[in-house]
Amino acid sequence: MSHEFHVVVPPKKIIVITAPSGAGKTSIVKKLVEQRPDLEFSVSCTTRTPREGEVNGKDYYFITVPEFQQRIQQGDFVEHEEVYPGQFYGSLKSEVERIWSKRKIVLYDIDVKGAESIKKKYGRDAIVIYIAPPDKETLVRRLTNRNTESKDSLKKRIKKAEEELSYQSKADKIVVNADFDIAFMNVKNVITNFLKLGAPAHH
């Protein structure tokens, strides 16, 4: 008697949520993790100081600049960027391995340049979803209302966000965040399609 074994190996997939700062991507990522146990957030390293309520090892690994440099030397990062002058962010190879070994899908919340690097590296196993603010005024208002930054840091973030708006043409999918619930539903639909069909082939 012969047996056929159907071992279901989930594909090694990556979902990248990117946006200009202030487009509301972090709230979308948080809610995705709550609703979909098959996705797991990849915890990045950063050299910035923790904001109130942020937990080391959950939101980020908060490390010093020398530690960050050492981790670059060791080749620990999939990609890393100086997102703001003097502030480094990097996604860890160990996170991808940890998440895939649990048979889960990697979920990233990273800046536009990081998103581009991940896409280059993983091709159609990765999808880049760009969360776009409805317009520039909304973006500036959201950044200003967040109130977690000093005036100088806020100015840097607004300038950066303006630059980042131009990256949306490189994304696989763009979801406009005018209404959170609608944007969230659209992101979920994009993810469902990606997991069924792979990333769109326009690259």
Site residues (CB under 6 A) for ligand 5GP? Answer: 21, 44, 48, 79, 81, 83, 89-91, 109-111, 113-114
CB of residue 42 vs ligand 5GP: minimum separation in angstroms?
Answer: 8
DSSP secondary structure string, 121-151?
A: HHGGGEEEEEEE-SSHHHHHHHHHHH--S-H
CA dihedral 186, 163, 44, 125 (to 10 degrees): 50
Residue 6 or 74 with smaller CB distance to ligand 5GP: 74
Residue 10 or 121 with smaller CB distance to ligand 5GP: 121
d(CA 150, CA 165): 22
Tokens of residue 199, six digits: 């990333």
Using CB atoms within 10 A of its CB, is residue 85 exposed (0-12), middle (13-18) or buried (19+)?
Answer: exposed
CB of residue 154 vs ligand 5GP: minimum separation in angstroms?
Answer: 12
Residue nearest to ligand 5GP (CB): 114
* DSSP H or E segment with residue 160: helix 151-164
Residue 87 or 193 with smaller CB distance to ligand 5GP: 87
CB of residue 128 vs ligand 5GP: minimum separation in angstroms?
Answer: 12
CB of residue 100 vs ligand 5GP: minimum separation in angstroms?
Answer: 17
